[in-house]
Structure 1
Amino acid sequence: MRFLKLVLLIVVVFTAVDAFAQSSAELKRRREKLTQELEDLNREYLETASNKKSSLKQLSLLKAQITLREEKITNINSEVRNLDNQISENNNSVRSLQGQLDQLRKEYAGMVLFTYHNKSAYNKMMFIFAAKDFNQAYKRLKYLQQFATYRERQASYIEGTQKDLHVKINELDRTKKEKRDLLADQQKEKETLGKEKNNQVKVISDLSKQQGVLKQQQREVQSKIAKTNKEIAATVRREIAEARRKAEAEARAAAAAEKARLAAAAAAARVDNAPINTPTRPAPKAITKNSSNSEVLNATPEAAKLSNDFLGNRGSLPWPVASGVITQEFGTYYLDGIRTENTGVDIKTSSGAAVRAVFNGEVSNVANISGTYVVIIRHGEYFTAYSNLRSVSVSKGQKISTKQTVGTVATDGATGETEVHFDLYKGQNPVNPKIWLAPN
């Protein structure tokens, strides 16, 4: 029974260790990814800073670095918590194995003492022949044989437990060292974060001395954003109106066809002098003026299936670029006191990178906005928009597949940034694209 408990303990411990290892491996992978992204951003920032003149690009890169570094510090905190749990589990395992080992050694010492007192063949024979009858003598003989086997097994248990204990102690030492290294890395990241925030303050201060240039850049950016949002909204409205028109036309055609079928059936019945017995077929749900945008956009089985498939991929859609970093999140933010509403996310990527569709769909519009392009794709009742494209490789009405290239990203002449702006709408309502994309 005691051996069974020991086996169960070891199974539970190693199961917990395996679960920890999976979580720890994922956190480590994310930390390494963040480190690589930070190195890329820092390299570009240093190139920009070498111009000796503060710019919006410097400020944007600093903000992206600060966001990523804060995420890395949070990631390290999670890793440290995991390691604390592992250290606690290992300490408990060491204490339990030590207790098991002590108990096994006590039992083994008792067996050794018994063996010592009965080490001679004479004592063993006396023990057997002192039995009351043959049956008892046979049982005593078997007992001595089993006792010797059990003693050997106990010695094996002790050896195995000692090995497990040694492994756990080594693992505990490695985990403690890993925690020390992580804490040192965390402290280094906090110090770097402080320097970056100081640099951000300095860049903002320098930019404030260039109010005229800065304001002009911001006005140009805001104007372009406003035009893009207006184009997307107009496209979605047109798609809804067109879907409504088609649904109403199909409903009228279906009603006319049903009326003609009933009339033909009635005429045939009069010729045959038979009673009219033609059941009315149920009509599909009609689209009316009171129908919601969702009902209109999902009026056809194909559109409804596409919407459902798109929704089913929430959190696992591919990124619109093969590699990139989000530099501006969805929502409201302020730049130099100017309030801006970001309906999507801005993703920094490499110069000339291909921009690709995140899901199957149909191109609803391709428009030129102040010298760059926006591509809008419909996925049932969902729409995705890809802005700030230098060139496009698709046209309106074209069917698109997941990860198909729709164009190449442009480099903004005013800020020097290479970013694609990505929007996601459900009907006419913008939603946060980040929660729909797969973890980067």
Structure 2
Amino acid sequence: MKFFRAALFLVCVFAATGVFAQSSAELKRRRDKLTDELEQLNREYQETASNKKVSLKQLNILKAQINLREEKITNINSEVRNLDNQISESNNTVRSLQSQLDQLKKEYAGMVLFAYRNQSAYNKLMFIFASKDFNQAYRRLKYLQQFGTYRERQAGYIQGTQKDLHVKIVELDKNKKEKSDLLQSQEKEKEELGKAKNNQVKVITDLSKHQGELKQQQKDVRKRIAAANREIQNTIRREIEELRRKAEAEERERARIAAAKAKAENREVVAPTKKAITKNSTTSEILNSTPEAAKLSNDFLGNRGRLPWPVATGQLIHGFGSYKEDGISIDNTGYEIRTNNGAPVRAVFDGTVKTIVDLGGSYLVIIIHGEYFTSYQNLRTVNVTKGQKVSTKQTIGTAALDQLSGDATIIFSINKGRDSVDPKMWLAPN
């Protein structure tokens, strides 16, 4: 029974360790991916730095590097916490195994002493013949047979426990070494992060010599973004009004038909079971007024935190929210993502293309997913048409080159009804 409980404990410990290992493997894959992206950015930065003229492209690369290094440091912190948990579990297991081994050895020593005292055939026969009756003699005979088997089994348990103890000690030493390496890597990343931030300050200082020109260019870019945001809001408003009018018209027609039928049958009109859309209906009620839209909304919500990125490869330049850049206030309603020139831009979920707008050299595409809308700004080309149904990861266009920065960037945003939401809560880790 004691051995059964010990075995059950070990199974639970090893199962828990498996969960940690899986999580650690995912974190390591993410760290390796971030390292590859940082190396690519370093190569690009060296190419731009060789040009004597400081450019916004250098600044954007530095911003992307800073974002990736901060994410890598956070990732390393998670790995260290995982290793701390594994080290704690291993320490507990080692103590438990050592305690079990000591107990097994103590019990085995007692058995060896008993066997030594009763090792002669005469003593064994006397033990049997001293029985009160035949049944007791039979039980004593079986006991002597089982005692030998049990002693062999106990010796096996001791060997197995010693082996498990050795494995856990080796694993513990490995985890401690890995933690030490991670902490060294973290310090290196912090040092590189500091250098990138210093470079950023230097680049901004150099760019400030052309501050007037650059600010005007940035303002022009922000005007285009603001125009795109207005178009997004106008598209959503028009969709809500169109669905409201359609639902109200359908409700009036259903009421007319029901009244005519009731009159013909000489009975009272039965009140509708479905809630009618009125001017007081909420945005959510209007956008989910059909079963298809309601299902799509529910499916979109069910994939929160798992939606694919709108580009297969990209680095975040600016996140969601308000901030200041070179004295210019910016209200970012989505993600500004740096990618490769001409990179395919893809839908993040099933839906219908609602609007395609030419913003003077680049395109804006808006897709509806029930009560949710996704928007894709700064597309060089568009592969879809208005009203077309699209599927998850379907290419809808290609990323355009930003003439100001020399980078290919897109702006991706998500709206629930009229409200902008942070894509961070919806997109899967990149």
| CA positional deviation for 1:329 | 0.4
The aligned counterpart of 2:280 is: 290
The aligned counterpart of 2:355 is: 365
Letter of the aligned partner of 1:36 in structure 2?
D
Equivalent position SS for 2:81: helix
Of stretches 16-25 and 285-294 in structure 1, the one that deviates more from structure 2 is 285-294
2:367 to 374, 377, 385: 377
- CA–CA distance in structure 2, aligned partners of residues 103 and 417 of structure 1: 68
Q: Is the 8 A contact 1:97 1:165 kept in 2?
A: yes
Any unmatched runs of 5+ in structure 2?
none
Letter of the aligned partner of 2:229 in structure 1?
N
| CA positional deviation for 1:279 | 4.7
| CA positional deviation for 1:262 | 4.1
| CA positional deviation for 1:170 | 1.2
The aligned counterpart of 1:437 is: 427
Q: Is the 8 A contact 2:60 2:405 kept in 1?
A: no
The aligned counterpart of 1:79 is: 79
- CA–CA distance in structure 1, aligned partners of residues 40 and 328 of structure 2: 29
Greater C-alpha radius of gyration: 1
Query: Under a length normalisation based on structure 1, what TM-score does the superposition of the two structures give?
Result: 0.91
Q: Deviations over 1:388-419 (max 9, x none)?
A: 00011222222323322221110111111111
| CA positional deviation for 1:111 | 2.1
| CA positional deviation for 1:430 | 1.2
The aligned counterpart of 1:93 is: 93
2:416 to 423, 426, 434: 426
Q: Is the 8 A contact 2:375 2:412 kept in 1?
A: yes
Letter of the aligned partner of 1:2 in structure 2?
K
Q: Is the 8 A contact 1:91 1:172 kept in 2?
A: yes
Q: Is the 8 A contact 2:67 2:316 kept in 1?
A: no
> Residues 7 and 54 of structure 1: is their aligned pair in 2 closer, same or farther, counting only changes over 3 Å?
same
The aligned counterpart of 1:403 is: 393
> Residues 319 and 127 of structure 1: is their aligned pair in 2 closer, same or farther, counting only changes over 3 Å?
same
Q: Is the 8 A contact 2:364 2:376 kept in 1?
A: yes
> Residues 332 and 139 of structure 1: is their aligned pair in 2 closer, same or farther, counting only changes over 3 Å?
same
2:342 to 343, 352, 360: 352
| CA positional deviation for 1:131 | 4.1
| CA positional deviation for 1:134 | 4.2
| CA positional deviation for 1:135 | 4.2
Q: Is the 8 A contact 1:355 1:406 kept in 2?
A: yes
Give percent identity, aligned residues only.
Answer: 68
1:25 aligns to 2:25 (yes or no): yes
- CA–CA distance in structure 1, aligned partners of residues 131 and 260 of structure 2: 109
1:317 aligns to 2:307 (yes or no): yes
The aligned counterpart of 1:116 is: 116
Q: Is the 8 A contact 1:310 1:379 kept in 2?
A: yes
Equivalent position SS for 1:395: coil
- CA–CA distance in structure 1, aligned partners of residues 139 and 394 of structure 2: 81
Letter of the aligned partner of 1:55 in structure 2?
S
> Residues 129 and 387 of structure 1: is their aligned pair in 2 closer, same or farther, counting only changes over 3 Å?
same
Letter of the aligned partner of 1:420 in structure 2?
I
Q: Deviations over 1:218-237 (max 9, x none)?
A: 11211111111122122222
The aligned counterpart of 1:269 is: none
Q: Is the 8 A contact 1:374 1:385 kept in 2?
A: yes
Letter of the aligned partner of 1:208 in structure 2?
S
| CA positional deviation for 1:133 | 4.5
| CA positional deviation for 1:54 | 2.1
Letter of the aligned partner of 1:416 in structure 2?
G
1:390 to 380, 385, 390: 380
Q: Is the 8 A contact 1:251 1:284 kept in 2?
A: no
| CA positional deviation for 1:3 | 1.6
| CA positional deviation for 1:244 | 2.3
Query: Under a length normalisation based on structure 2, what TM-score does the superposition of the two structures give?
Result: 0.93
| CA positional deviation for 1:58 | 1.5
> Residues 215 and 119 of structure 1: is their aligned pair in 2 closer, same or farther, counting only changes over 3 Å?
same
The aligned counterpart of 2:235 is: 235
Aligned residues: 430
Equivalent position SS for 1:199: helix
Any unmatched runs of 5+ in structure 1?
267-275
Letter of the aligned partner of 2:383 in structure 1?
S
1:30-429 aligned within 5 A = 30-263=30-263, 265=264, 276-277=266-267, 279-280=269-270, 282=272, 285-429=275-419
Letter of the aligned partner of 1:305 in structure 2?
K
